[in-house]
Amino acid sequence: GAAMDEEELLSVDYEVSGRVQGVFFRKFTQGEAKRLGLVGWVQNTSHGTVKGQIQGPTARVRELQEWLRKIGSPQSRISQAEFSNEKKIVALEHKDFQIVK
């Protein structure tokens, strides 16, 4: 049932475009992920987007996806958030949520 699904672990890759570099987007994403108890990483790309991976309980991953799609850091302007490689995992592959330089 629904309770079981909540506990399932999900891994999903993301890439966010818009005004997302130089606006503390990575720092805020890390803070939000930690608040939700998620692991993974976030990094700036050479073409002006921010990308990374999120892993954790399905419901929490969905929350961060919404945050990446609609909220972001206070000064950011998100034009698009794309998610890919979504899959169920049996164990988390990261220890925490890191900002990759």
On the question of pLDDT at 3 being above 80, the answer is no
- pTM of the full predicted structure? 0.92
Residue-range domain boundaries for the chain: 19-99
31 neighbors 84 (Cβ within 8 angstroms): no
Q: How far is CA 92 from CA 17, 65, 80, 98, in A?
A: 26, 17, 27, 14
Instruction: Determine which one of 44, 60, 62, 85 is catalytic.
Output: 44
35 is catalytic: no
pLDDT tens, position by position, 34-90: 999 999 999 999 999 999 999 999 999 999 999 999 999 999 999 999 999 999 999
Instruction: Determine which one of 26, 35, 69, 85 is catalytic.
Output: 26
85 is catalytic: no
CATH 3.50.50.60 fits 19-99, yes or no: no
Compute the mean pLDDT over every residue in the chain, rounded to the nearest whole number.
95
Which element (helix H / strand E) includes 30?
A: helix 25-35
